[in-house]
Amino acid sequence: MRTVHKLGALRFVIYPNDHRPAHVHVVGGGHAVVFNLRCPGGPPELRENYGFSQAKLNRIARHVRLHLSSLCRAWREFHGGY
């Protein structure tokens, strides 16, 4: 597991042995969410939410959109493609 980005106490994680499509796990505070990145141009898509409120989820989604290119680049470093 590699933390590729942070937002406060939240960690954006890509697992080196994970499956496609390109996606990022966001974990923190006992909750987790997964976004399909839809690289290279997005838009990211919510796949799973485990406990985040809608307000927090909206904030995370905005952050994923803003940092999509670096998240896609991190995915490609691990997996060689999307």
Give pTM, 2 decimals.
0.94
pLDDT tens digits along 45-75: 999 999 999 999 999 999 999 999 999 999 9
Could you tell me if 36 and 21 are in contact, meaning their C-beta atoms sit under 8 angstroms apart? yes
pLDDT at 82 over 90: no
- pLDDT tens digit string along 12-32? 999 988 999 999 999 999 999
Which residue range forms the structural domain that includes residue 31? 2-79
Between CA 55 and CA 71 the distance in angstroms is 22
Side-chain half-sphere exposure of 33, counting CA atoms within 13 A: 24
User: What total number of domains does the chain contain?
Assistant: 1
